[in-house]
Structure 1
């Protein structure tokens, strides 16, 4: 017990002596965690949004004429030959007209003078959930476009491609911000611990002469790294949470943000980010001790 009390006193003394660099390191770690967590939060929500929208993904094959039962069976076999699908539904001209009228709602009276067979028949193809990568959907669409009697294939191409490339861009940003977090955290903590060691060089030499153990000398510096990681990452996560809540309140009401459910990190994800930050700060502290603390 007396060992830890002494170590804690040494940590407090180190913090007081180098409070300027300690504060700068704390702010740097907090900012690095905030930047990384911010982009990772957007990325994770975009992935969840993509999963939800992917549940409604379907390829619409517009046909020249309504296929009879025999041709429907042939088309079904050809579609399933390319890949497994969740469902295939043939939509007649009359069904397409009724759907369009329902979508128009109160404005459906604009169809009063229109013939009920002016819309083309179609096939609604829903691919398997595990086969919905962009390249796979593109290949599937090209294959469906070659089916007999096909006029056009639609699946929201432009939107799907833009969403896919946006998530790819976010993944690159998350990777870069994660690299920034690693480099800045290790560098800043290492620099701060180095200043502390150099400022107490004479005292550390004296401790060695009087027989202080390696653990007694090293533990305070390791605890400094742990505290920097714990406090810095906690401040970063709390700041992001406050920013997230402010954005939700600020943009509450009709708008894009309310079309989808955006959620903050789960407690486990937050704890994981904090734990990784603590580990990185501890590594920075340890590497500096190995280089400048000759014991």
Structure 2
């Protein structure tokens, strides 16, 4: 009990005596967490855009003839052999005609003298709406073109490729911002600990002379780093939430029906805070260990 009271007392006194450098470290951690979580939030929401797509994410396989039940089963087996899909729909010539007629609305008279079987039968394939499936759509299309009786495969090639490239770019940005978070927090925590150690150099030497253990000397600095990580991550997440709410309020109604962005769930927020604490505490531990071993 006395050990814990002494440790917390040492930590508090250290924070008070070096509050300028600690404030700078706290601001750096907050900004780093904000930058990382902002791009991660955009990336996380972009991954879920595919879940809200409708007919934009499908492959239409046009056939030279209408398949019977046995051939449909064979097509289904070959399609699912390449990749798992959400669903497969076979559209007959008459169903294609009815769809086309319904799209014409008031101009249906143009179909008066045209036979109802002039449109080809087709297979509509709805792939899983994940980044992995998006990355394989081009190969999926090329595979479908090799199936017997296939005339043409159609899908939103340009849209899918642009969306996938955007996701890949975001992934790189998230990685770089995460690396920035690690580097800046490690550097700032290490710098802050060095300043604290130098300001208390005589006191630490005296503690060693009277027999203080390395744990007694190191733990306050470890707690100092953990506390900065906690406060910095909470401040960063709070700033991100305020930014998120401002963007929601500023663009409310303008993108309604197109995109619906959401904030992190509670487990993700807790995970980010815990990781920040561990990162700062680890940086502090490594730094003080190097200094005291000299």
Q: Per the alignment, in what secondary structure is the counterpart of residue 31 of structure 1?
A: helix
Distance 1:286 1:55 in 2: 54
Cα distance change on mapping 1:42 and 1:176 into 2, 3 Å: same
Question: Which residue in 2 is equivalent to 1:280?
Answer: 279
Indicate how the Cα distance of structure 1 residues 128 and 154 shifts in structure 2: closer, same or farther if over 3 A, else same: closer
* 3-state DSSP of counterpart to 1:124: strand
Q: How many residues align?
A: 287
Give the distance between the partners of 1:210 and 1:83, measured in 2 at CA: 74
Corresponding position of 1:109: 106
1:230 & 1:181 partners in 2: Cα distance?
Answer: 14
Distance 1:237 1:69 in 2: 56
- 1:166 maps to 166
The match for 2:234 is 234
Alignment-derived partner of residue 43 in structure 2: 43
* Structure 1 consecutive aligned stretches of length 4 or more whose deviation exceeds 6 Å: none
Task: Return the offset for 1:3.
Answer: 3.0
* TM-score for the superposition, normalised by structure 1: 0.85
Any stretches of 5+ residues in structure 1 without a counterpart?
A: none
Change (3 A) 1:212 1:78: closer
SS at match of 2:110: coil
1:213 maps to which residue?
Answer: 213
What is aligned with 2:288? 289
SS at match of 1:113: helix
1:40-79 → structure 2 map (5 Å cutoff): 40-53=40-53, 57-63=57-63, 67-68=65-66, 70=68, 73-74=70-71, 77-78=74-75
Counterpart in the other structure of 1:139: 139
Residues 244 and 264 of structure 1 are in contact (CA less than 8 Å); yes or no, is this contact kept in structure 2? yes
Distance 1:223 1:275 in 2: 14
**1:58–1:155: 8 Å Cα contact kept in structure 2?**
yes
Q: Is the 8 A contact 1:61 1:150 kept in 2?
A: yes
Q: Is the 1:49–1:260 contact (alpha carbons within 8 Å) kept by the matching residues of 2?
A: yes
Match of 1:251 in 2: 251
Q: CA deviation at 1:208?
A: 1.7
**How much does 1:170 deviate?**
1.0
Residue in structure 1 matched with residue 20 of structure 2 by the alignment? 20
CA positional deviation for 1:275? 0.7
Distance in structure 1 (CA, Å) of the matches to 2:17 and 2:55: 58
1:264 paired residue number? 263
Measured after TM superposition, the shift of residue 138 of structure 1 is 2.0
Q: Secondary structure at the match of 1:38?
A: helix
